[in-house]
Structures are given as C-alpha cells and as structure tokens.
C-alpha cells in the first residue's frame, strides 16, 4: 500500500501548534509519509514570504513565534497543492475562511480522505441558514468530517504545558487514527461520539468569553466572571438541548465543555479584546487589528451567527447572554447592559 499523507489546512496560532505536534508524532508511524504539508495563507513578513521563512527557519515567526517545527512540516502557499494527495485533512482555519477554502479545493480532494475540523464558529449562508462547519466541510468535499475541541490556548500547548482535548467521532478507526497522530504525553485526548455538540460548545464558549471580557473591562470581579461563566454554560447546555437533542449530558464535563469555557474566559484572545473594547471605546475590528497581529477573533462573529440561528428558530428570548453580547458588539447596547442581561436571566424567574 502507498504511504498515507496528512495535510494541515491553516497555519495560524493553533494550526502551527497542531502541525508541530503531528510533524513530531508522524515519524513513529510506518504507514504515513513523514512530510506534513501545511497550507499557509501567503503574506510578506519583514520583506520575506512567510512560506520561505517557515521552510528555511522552521518557525512561523508571525503566528507562533518562539516554537520550531520539525523539518518535515513543509509550508505550501497553494492550498490545492497542500491537500491534493492527502488522506487526512486537518482543518485549522479561522472559521470565517472555512467555506471559501473548501470551495477552492473541492475537486482536488481524494474521495477516500477524511477531515477533522478544529475551527470554532458557525457558517451562515447567503439565505441566512446556519450550519456547522464540519457539515460545510463534509458537504463541499464529500468526505466525513470529525472535530477536535478543548481547553487549548495554543501557545501553552506548543510549549508542552499539560492539557487535554476532546475528539468527536462516531467512526472508531478514524477516531483512533486522529488520536494517535495528535496525542502526546502533555496533550491527552478523549474520543466521544457527540460530534455536533462538541463542535457547538467550541463555538458558543467564545461568545461567553466575550461576555467575560466585557465584565473584566467594566471593572467587575471574579464573582461576576463566575456568574458569566455559569449563566453562559447554562445557555450553552440549553442551546445543545434545544437544537441537538440525543447527546450524552456528561459531554459538558469534557474538555470541550466546561474546561474550554474556563480557559477562554481567563486566557483567551476574545476575552482580552472584549475587555479593551469596554476600556478604549474602539470597535472590535480595530482592536483585532491593533492587538492580535493578524490573529482572528471568533467570538463576535459567532455571536452574530447564533443571533441568526435564534431568529430563525424564534428562540432568542431564552438566550439573553448570547443576545446581549451580539448587541453590545454591534453597539446597539452599552457594555453595562450585559449585567442587566445577567440580573434578569430566566435562571432567576
């Protein structure tokens, strides 16, 4: 049999971290090509192409500075070249770019391949219907798509600080393969079958993290943030119960649930930018550009996507925290309206 290939689609903070891990792990398999092709959205950094820097210095100096790739991770500026021979496609793009990237590669992907999505967010089509990203990937590429979500601030994972994540797969063989490629002594993985809910939790927690940032920016303390986390978690659970019934309730206690919510509400980019939004009065897009050096926020867009979803289903009144985050980001409400949304939450009726 020919050796199988893994491609990493995306090379931001998390994409580069996963490429580093898989590049190291893959040399232990004799059924895989050692080379990992990593799609890099080309840009100039200090007068040089980012792909050249990565291929010569084995470091993504822009999105994951201070961490070296093993030399078998090779940057490709052409996404079709990166994926065309791949058997496993690890999709690690900011969620805003997933659909257009799938369109670009759709007639070039092996029919026997499968994908794993690491992206946190939803996809809203032109007719305003909302889909899971894994559904979009699967539909456009005509291959199965699993997910990996968890409490994983990328720079900490890249530094080998212990953490865990959840793989969503109902296919035993594929789930085990993904686990084998990604798990390390410092990054422990659990496979669960509730793929849709695992993905939804990853998207929703970023909305709660924006609320946590507003709370911090307003000068509230740890008790308030704990209330944001608890009421946010309640809305996450409610959303899954309403729209994805049939999952195991224990899924909320996995890394993709409560753990990812906690880490993002303390250490994430969404929290950081949302706090600055309150303190500086600048808009979200400006702060993203000023503070994140090309990295992308997922929470404000996810809040807009969830708003579309709730409008379509007529259920917005059950999710006041999610709704308040969107209205505040859009400046239709003042940041302090977040506290009113908490104060009058259906929890207290």
List interacting residues with ligand 13P (CB under 6 A). Answer: 120, 151-153, 206, 209, 260, 263-264, 268-270, 298
Contact with ligand NAD (CB under 6 A) among 119, 169, 195, 224: 119
Query: 154 or 341, CB closer to ligand NAD?
Result: 154
By CB under 6 A, tell whether 76 contacts ligand NAD. Answer: no
Query: 99 or 301, CB closer to ligand 13P?
Result: 301
> CA–CA separation, 203 vs 98, rounded Å?
14
Please report how the helices 284-292 and 269-280 are oriented relative to each other, as an axis angle in degrees rounded to 10: 120
Structure-token match 């792909």, residue found: 51
Q: Provide the 10 A C-beta neighbour count for residue 95.
A: 24
Q: What backbone phi and psi angles, to 5 degrees, belong to 126?
A: -60, -30
Least Cβ distance, residue 219 to ligand NAD (angstroms): 26
By CB under 6 A, tell whether 177 contacts ligand NAD. Answer: no
Please tell me the count of residues contacting ligand NAD according to CB under 6 A: 24
Q: What backbone phi and psi angles, to 5 degrees, belong to 42?
A: -70, 140
Q: Terminal CA-to-CA distance of the chain, rounded, Å?
A: 63
270 touches, from ligand NAD, ligand 13P, none (C-beta below 5 to 8 Å by class): ligand 13P
Contact 145, 158 (CB under 8 A): no
Encoded tokens for 37: 């092709």
Q: Which residue is nearest to ligand 13P (CB)?
A: 268
By CB under 6 A, tell whether 51 contacts ligand NAD. Answer: no
12 touches, from ligand NAD, ligand 13P, none (C-beta below 5 to 8 Å by class): ligand NAD
CA angle 338, 221, 198 (to 5 degrees): 65
Q: Is 85 exposed, middle or buried (0-12, 13-18, 19+ CB in 10 A)?
A: middle
Query: 37 or 269, CB closer to ligand 13P?
Result: 269
> CA–CA separation, 8 vs 115, rounded Å?
10
213 touches, from ligand NAD, ligand 13P, none (C-beta below 5 to 8 Å by class): none
By CB under 6 A, tell whether 272 contacts ligand NAD. Answer: no
> CA–CA separation, 292 vs 40, rounded Å?
18
263 touches, from ligand 13P, ligand NAD, none (C-beta below 5 to 8 Å by class): ligand 13P
Query: 189 or 341, CB closer to ligand NAD?
Result: 189
Q: Which of 35, 38, 59, 64 is nearest to 48 (CA)?
A: 59
62 catalytic? Reply is: no
Of the candidates 62, 120, 205, 225, the residue annotated as catalytic is 205
Query: 63 or 309, CB closer to ligand NAD?
Result: 63
Query: 5 or 62, CB closer to ligand NAD?
Result: 62
Instruction: Specify the stretch interacting with ligand NAD by CB under 6 A; choose among 149-157, 178-186, 236-244, 271-279.
Output: 149-157
Contact with ligand NAD (CB under 6 A) among 22, 32, 63, 73: 63
Least Cβ distance, residue 208 to ligand 13P (angstroms): 10
**Interface residues for ligand NAD in 290-309 (CB under 6 A)?**
294-296, 298
Grouping H, G, I as helix, E, B as strand and the rest as coil, residue 86 is: coil
Grouping H, G, I as helix, E, B as strand and the rest as coil, residue 67 is: coil
> CA–CA separation, 243 vs 115, rounded Å?
24
Least Cβ distance, residue 263 to ligand 13P (angstroms): 6
Which residues fall within 8 angstroms of residue 221, CB to CB, at 6 or more apart? none
User: Which residues are tagged catalytic?
Assistant: 205
Q: Which positions lie near ligand NAD, rule CB under 6 A?
A: 10-15, 41, 63, 92-95, 97, 118-121, 152-154, 294-296, 298
């Amino acid at each position: 049999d020919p050796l199988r290939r893994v491609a990493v689609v995306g090379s931001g903070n998390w994409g580069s971290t996963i490429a580093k891990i898989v590049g190291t792990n893959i040399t232990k398999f004799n059924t895989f090509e050692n080379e990992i092709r990593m799609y890099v959205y080309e840009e100039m950094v200090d007068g040089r192409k980012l792909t050249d820097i990565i291929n010569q210095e084995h470091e993504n100096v822009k999105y994951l500075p201070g961490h070296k790739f093993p030399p078998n991770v090779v940057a490709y500026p052409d996404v079709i070249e990166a994926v065309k021979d791949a058997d496993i496609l690890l999709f690690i793009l900011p969620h805003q770019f997933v659909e257009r990237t799938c369109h670009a590669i759709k007639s070039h992907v092996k029919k026997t391949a499968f994908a794993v999505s690491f992206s946190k967010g939803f996809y809203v089509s032109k007719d305003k219907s909302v889909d899971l990203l894994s559904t979009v990937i699967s539909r456009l590429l005509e291959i199965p798509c699993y997910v990996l979500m968890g409490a994983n601030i990328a720079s900490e994972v890249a530094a080998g600080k212990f953490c865990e994540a959840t793989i969503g797969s109902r296919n035993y063989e594929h789930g085990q393969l993904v686990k084998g490629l990604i798990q390390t002594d410092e990054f422990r993985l659990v496979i669960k079958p509730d793929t849709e809910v695992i993905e939804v939790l990853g998207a929703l927690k970023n909305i709660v993290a924006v609320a946590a940032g507003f709370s911090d920016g307003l000068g509230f303390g740890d008790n308030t943030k704990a209330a944001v986390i608890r009421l946010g978690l309640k809305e996450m659970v409610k959303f899954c119960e309403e729209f994805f019934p049939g999952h195991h309730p224990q899924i909320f206690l996995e890394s993709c649930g409560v753990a990812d919510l906690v880490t993002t509400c303390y250490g994430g980019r969404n929290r950081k930018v949302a706090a600055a939004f309150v303190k500086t009065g600048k808009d979200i897009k400006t702060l993203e550009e000023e503070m994140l050096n090309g990295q992308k926020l997922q929470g404000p867009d996810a809040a807009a996507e969830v708003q579309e979803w709730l409008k379509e289903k007529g259920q917005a009144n059950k999710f006041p925290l999610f709704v308040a985050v969107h209205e505040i980001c859009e400046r239709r409400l003042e940041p302090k309206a977040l506290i009113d949304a908490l104060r009058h939450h259906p929890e207290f009726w």
